[in-house]
C-alpha cells in the first residue's frame, strides 16, 4: 500500500522517464527500431526498474495512469527529435492487459498522434501475450490499432499462455519471443529450448509474420538464431536499454540505422525444414543430397551405428541385406590409428553445437581396400549416458591419391624411394615445404625450374596445382620469372639462403618464402604464413606511435630498421 501511494505521488511529481532499447537486424547489426522501457527516477533511491512497480500497478488496476504518462513522453520526445531535423526509427510502447480493460487504448494513442503531429508508423504497440490470451475483445482492440496505422506486436510470446493456435486467431503484425523464458541458458534444457524457438520461428515465417527475439546476450545465441532464420534481435548482446541522451547519440549516426521497418524477408536463406514439411523432398532425394550418412550412438567409450542410409552401405562396401552385427562392424573397420581421432571428433561435435566437427579418417573395406573418408559430425541429442550423433561421410580417396601422385612424382634423377623419404620427413611439417629442381642450359645458365615435391601444408596454403604454385613463387619475386630463376639458382648451385615475402592474391595471406640448397641443382623452399605477424606488427606500430617509431628509426645509417613487408 505504501509503495503504491509513493508511486502515485511520483506520478504527480513527474518522476517517471523511459529508456530505449534498440532492436537490430541480425544480418547487418543496424538499428531497425527500439522499445521504450519505463524507469522510475527516485529522488533518494535512484533508478528503479519496472519489475518493482509495474506488476503492483497492474494488480491495483492503475497501470494506465503510468502508461498514459510514458506513452506521452515517448511522443513528446519523438516530436522534439524530428523538430531537430532527424528521422526517427519506430518506437514500441508497452501495453498491459489492464490498460485495455481500463481505457480506450486506440483512441488515446490516436489523440497523442494528433497532439504531437506524428505519423502512426513511428509507434508500435507491444501487447503482452497474457493479454492476448485472456481478453475476449482483444481482437477488436488489435483491429482498431491496426486500422489507426499502428504496428501491433505480441510481447513475450512463448512465456506460458500462448499456443501456436493463437497465431491463427489473433492477427498481430510482429511476434516477440523472449529467449530467457525458454531457459536456453541451462545446458540441460538448451536443446529443448532451441527446438521450441525454431518451431515458433518456422511457423511465424510460414505465416509471413516477422519475429524479434528478445533477451539475446551472447554471440553464440545470435549465431544460433541466425541459423534458424530469425531476422531481428533485441538484447544486451547489441545494446542495453539506453537513457535517452545515449539513444540520441546512437540515432545521430544514420549509418547505424535501417529505416526499412520490420518485414519477413523475401529472399530467404535456405530452410531445409520447410522444404521437407512441404514434402518437396522425398526420402530418396534427401539421401542423394546428403550422400552417405549415419546416426551413431556414443556411450561409455563405445561407438555404435544405429541407422544408416543406402549410400552408406555403398561407401562401406557392404551388402544392403547383410547387416548382421553391422553396429560394431562399421566401427571396427575404422583404422586403429584413427579411432582416437574419430572419438575426438565426436567430443568436439558435442562441444561445438550446432556447427559440428569435421575430419578425415581411414576406413578399411571388407575387401581390404583402404578409403580416406571425410566425416562431418553433428550432435543430435542426449539420452541418459548415450549421445546420439548424425554423421555425414564422403569418400575423398581420389583427392588424396591425386595429391600423392603430385607429391611423389618421380623425376629423372630422383627415384620413388627418395620421394617417399621426403614425404616421411617433410610431409606433415607444420609449414609449407617444397622442392624445386633448376635446369641449366648448355652454357650453364639457369633455364627453367620444376616443382618436384610439395608437402601437405604447402598444398593447403597454395593448392596442389603446379601452375598455381609456380605463379605464387614468381609473384614472390616481384612478378619477375628471371629473378626467381636466378635466386633459385643461387640456392641450388651456390648455396645461398634467400628470403622473400609475398601476399597471396587468392587468400590475402602474407607469406614468407625461404630458399636454401637441398642438394646440387635442387632448392628447398619453406613457406610460412606470416599474416598474424603482419597484423601484430601493424598493431604494435600503431599503438606505440610516436615513441615506437622514433625507436624503430634510430639505426646507425638513419634508415628505419623495421621495414614494412612488401
Ligand atoms: P518487456 O516488455 O518484455 O521488456 C523487456 C525486458 O527485458 C526489459 O526489462 C529489458 O531491459 C529486458 N532485457 C532486454 N534485453 C535483455 C537481455 O539481453 N538480458 C536481460 N537479462 N534482460 C534484457 P525491464 O526494462 O526491466 O522491463 C521489464 C518489463 O516491465 C517489460 O518487459 C514490460 O513488461 C514491463 N514494462 C517496462 N516498461 C513498461 C511500460 O512503460 N509500461 C508497461 N505497462 N510495462 C512496462
Ligand atoms: Mg515489451
Ligand atoms: Mg518482452
> Please, which residues have CB within 8 angstroms of residue 206's CB and are 6 or more apart in sequence?
274
In a domain, 551, yes or no: no
CA of 93 to the centre of ligand 2 (A): 7
Say if residues 112 and 75 touch (Cβ distance below 8 Å). yes
Q: How far is the CA of 237 from the centre of ligand 2 (A)?
A: 17
Give the ligand at the shortest distance from the Cα of 235. Answer: 1
What integer pLDDT is reported at residue 442 of this predicted model? 84
CA distance 412 to 420: 15
Same domain, 19 and 135: yes
Does any ligand 1 atom lie closer than 6 A to the CB of residue 20? no
22 lines ligand 1 (CB under 6 A): no
- What pLDDT is recorded for position 321? 64
Radius of gyration from C-alpha coordinates of the chain: 33
Say if residue 522 is in the same domain as residue 503. yes
CB of 129 sitting under 6 A from ligand 1: no
Report which of 468, 469, 458 is spatially closest to residue 527, judged by C-alpha positions: 458
Domain limit, last residue, from 342, 368, 401: 401
Task: Give the pLDDT confidence score for residue 430 in this predicted structure.
Answer: 84
Residue at 270 is within a domain: no
Residue 459, in any domain of the structure: yes
Burial 539-560 (b: 16+ CB within 10 A, else e): eeeeeeeeeeeeeeeeeeeeee
CB atoms near residue 403 (< 10 Å): 16
**Residue 217 in domain:** yes
DSSP string of 96-130? -HHHHHHS-HHHHHHHHHHHHT--GGGEEEEEEHH
Do 468 and 381 share a structural domain? Answer: no
Same domain, 136 and 11: yes
Partnered with residue 357 across adjacent β-strands are: 377
Taking the centre of ligand 3 as the mean of its atom positions, its distance from the CA of residue 94, in whole angstroms, is: 9
List b or e across 280-296, with b for residues whose CB sees 16 or more CB atoms inside 10 angstroms: eeeeeeebeeeebbbeb
Q: What is the pLDDT along the chain (566 residues), one digit of tens a residue?
A: 899 999 999 999 999 999 999 999 998 999 999 999 999 999 989 999 999 999 999 999 999 999 999 999 999 999 999 999 999 999 999 999 889 989 999 999 999 999 999 999 999 999 987 777 666 678 889 999 999 999 999 998 877 666 667 777 788 999 999 888 776 665 666 777 788 888 888 888 878 889 999 999 999 889 889 888 889 999 999 999 999 999 999 999 989 999 988 877 544 556 666 666 666 677 777 777 788 898 999 888 788 888 888 888 888 887 766 666 666 666 778 877 788 888 889 999 999 888 889 888 888 888 888 888 889 999 999 988 899 999 999 888 877 776 555 554 544 456 677 777 888 888 878 888 888 888 888 888 888 888 888 888 887 777 666 667 777 777 777 767 788 888 889 999 988 999 888 777 666 778 888 999 988 888 998 988 888 777 777 777 665 544 444 444 444 444 333 333 33
114 and 21 fall within a common domain: yes
Q: Are 4 and 56 in contact (CB under 8 A)?
A: yes
Asked whether residue 257 is assigned to any structural domain, the reply reads no
- Structure confidence at residue 552 (pLDDT): 41
Domain of 184 in residue numbering reads as: 2-252
Which CATH number is 396's domain given? 3.30.450.20
Position 510 in a domain: yes
Q: What are phi and psi of 8, to 5 degrees?
A: -65, -40
The answer to whether residues 380 and 341 belong to one domain is yes
Q: Which residue, 273, 281, 292, is CA-closest to 376?
A: 292
- Looking from the CA of residue 156, the nearest atom of ligand 1 is 3
> Domain end: 401, 427, 446, which one?
401
Distance CA 406, CA 61 (A): 81
What's the CA gap between 22 and 402, in Å, rounded? Answer: 53
pLDDT of residue 72: 97
Which residues touch 557 (CB under 8 Å, ≥6 apart)? none
The residue whose C-alpha atom lies closest to atom 11 belonging to ligand 1 is 241
386 and 442 share one domain: no
pLDDT at position 547: 45
CATH code: domain of residue 107: 3.20.20.450
In this structure, are 446 and 363 located in the same domain?
Answer: no
Helix, strand, or coil (residue 203): helix
In a domain, 556, yes or no: no
Same domain, 306 and 439: no
Statement to judge: residues 341 and 454 lie in one domain: no
The 8-class DSSP code of residue 414 comes to B
How much is the pLDDT for 83?
95
Instruction: Please count the CA atoms within 13 angstroms of the CA of 301 that sit on its side-chain side.
Output: 1
Question: Please, are residues 23 and 41 in contact by the beta-carbon 8 Å criterion?
Answer: no
**At 47, which helix (H) or strand (E)?**
strand 46-48
Give the Cα separation of 477 and 485 in Å (integer): 9
The domain tally of the chain equals: 3
Q: Looking at the structure, do residues 377 and 413 belong to the same domain, yes or no?
A: no
Instruction: Please give, one letter per residue, the 3-state secondary structure of 527-546.
Output: EEECHHHHHHHHHHHHHCCC
Q: Is the CB of 38 under 6 A from ligand 1?
A: yes
Pair (333, 237) in one structural domain: no
- Residue to probe by mutation, ligand 1, list 37, 218, 225, 232, most atoms within 8 Å of CB: 37
Classify residue 558: in a domain, yes or no.
Answer: no
Query: Residue 178 C-alpha to ligand 3 middle, in angstroms?
Result: 6
Question: Residue 554: what pLDDT?
Answer: 40
In the chain, the largest separation of any two C-alpha atoms, in whole Å, equals 107
Smallest CA separation from ligand 1 atom 37, residue: 37
Domain edge (last residue) among 356, 373, 401:
401
Amino acid at each position: 500500500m505504501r509503495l503504491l501511494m509513493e508511486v502515485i505521488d511520483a506520478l504527480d511529481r513527474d518522476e517517471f522517464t523511459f529508456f530505449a532499447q534498440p532492436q537490430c537486424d541480425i544480418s547487418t547489426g543496424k538499428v531497425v527500431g527500439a522499445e521504450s522501457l519505463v524507469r522510475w527516477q527516485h529522488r533518494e533511491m535512484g533508478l528503479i526498474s519496472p519489475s518493482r512497480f509495474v506488476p503492483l500497478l497492474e494488480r491495483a488496476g492503475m497501470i494506465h495512469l503510468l502508461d498514459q504518462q510514458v506513452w506521452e513522453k515517448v511522443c513528446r520526445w519523438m516530436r522534439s527529435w524530428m523538430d531537430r531535423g532527424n528521422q526517427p526509427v519506430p518506437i514500441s510502447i508497452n501495453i498491459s492487459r489492464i490498460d485495455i480493460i481500463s481505457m480506450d487504448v486506440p483512441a488515446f494513442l490516436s489523440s497523442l498522434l494528433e497532439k504531437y503531429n506524428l505519423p502512426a508508423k513511428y509507434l508500435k504497440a507491444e501487447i503482452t501475450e497474457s493479454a492476448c490470451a485472456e481478453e475476449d475483445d482483444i481482437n477488436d482492440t488489435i483491429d482498431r490499432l491496426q486500422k489507426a496505422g499502428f504496428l501491433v506486436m505480441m510481447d513475450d510470446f512463448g512465456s506460458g499462455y500462448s499456443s501456436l493456435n493463437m497465431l491463427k486467431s489473433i492477427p498481430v503484425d510482429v511476434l516477440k519471443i523472449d529467449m530467457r523464458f525458454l531457459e536456453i541458458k541451462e545446458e540441460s534444457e538448451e536443446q529443448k529450448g532451441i527446438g521450441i524457438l525454431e518451431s515458433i520461428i518456422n511457423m511465424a515465417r510460414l505465416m509471413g509474420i516477422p519475429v524479434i527475439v528478445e533477451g539475446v546476450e551472447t554471440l553464440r545465441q545470435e549465431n544460433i538464431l541466425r541459423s534458424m532464420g530469425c531476422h531481428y534481435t533485441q538484447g544486451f548482446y547489441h545494446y542495453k536499454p539506453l537513457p535517452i541522451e545515449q539513444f540520441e547519440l546512437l540515432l545521430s549516426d544514420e549509418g547505424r540505422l535501417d529505416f526499412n521497418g520490420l518485414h519477413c524477408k523475401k529472399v530467404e536463406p535456405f530452410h531445409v525444414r520447410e522444404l521437407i514439411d512441404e514434402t518437396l523432398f522425398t526420402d530418396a532425394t534427401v539421401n542423394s543430397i546428403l550422400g552417405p550418412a549415419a546416426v551413431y550412438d556414443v556411450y561409455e567409450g563405445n561407438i555404435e551405428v544405429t541407422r544408416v542410409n543406402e549410400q552408406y552401405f555403398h561407401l562401406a562396401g557392404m551388402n544392403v541385406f547383410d547387416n548382421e552385427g553391422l553396429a560394431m562392424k562399421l566401427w571396427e573397420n575404422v583404422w586403429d590409428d584413427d579411432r582416437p581421432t574419430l572419438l575426438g571428433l565426436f567430443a568436439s561435435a558435442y562441444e561445438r553445437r550446432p556447427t559440428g566437427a569435421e575430419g578425415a579418417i581411414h576406413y578399411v573395406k571388407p575387401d581390404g581396400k583402404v578409403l580416406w573418408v571425410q566425416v562431418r559430425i553433428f550432435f543430435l541429442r542426449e539420452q541418459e549416458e548415450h549421445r546420439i550423433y548424425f554423421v555425414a561421410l564422403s569418400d575423398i580417396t581420389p583427392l588424396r591419391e591425386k595429391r600423392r601422385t603430385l607429391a611423389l612424382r618421380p623425376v629423372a634423377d630422383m627415384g620413388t624411394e627418395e620421394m617417399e623419404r621426403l614425404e616421411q620427413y617433410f610431409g606433415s611439417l607444420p609449414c609449407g615445404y617444397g622442392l624445386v629442381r633448376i635446369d641449366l642450359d648448355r652454357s650453364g645458365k639457369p633455364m627453367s625450374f620444376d616443382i618436384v615435391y610439395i608437402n601437405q601444408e604447402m598444398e593447403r596454403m597454395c593448392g596442389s596445382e603446379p601452375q598455381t604454385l609456380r605463379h605464387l613463387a614468381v609473384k614472390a619475386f616481384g612478378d619477375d620469372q628471371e629473378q626467381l630463376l636466378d635466386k633459385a639458382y643461387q640456392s641450388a648451385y651456390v648455396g645461398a639462403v634467400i628470403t622473400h615475402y609475398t601476399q597471396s592474391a587468392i587468400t590475402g595471406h602474407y607469406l614468407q618464402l625461404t630458399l636454401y640448397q637441398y642438394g646440387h641443382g635442387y632448392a628447398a623452399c619453406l613457406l610460412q604464413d606470416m599474416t598474424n605477424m603482419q597484423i601484430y606488427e601493424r598493431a604494435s606500430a600503431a599503438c606505440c606511435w610516436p615513441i615506437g617509431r622514433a625507436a624503430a628509426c634510430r639505426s646507425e645509417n638513419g634508415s628505419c630498421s623495421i621495414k614494412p613487408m612488401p
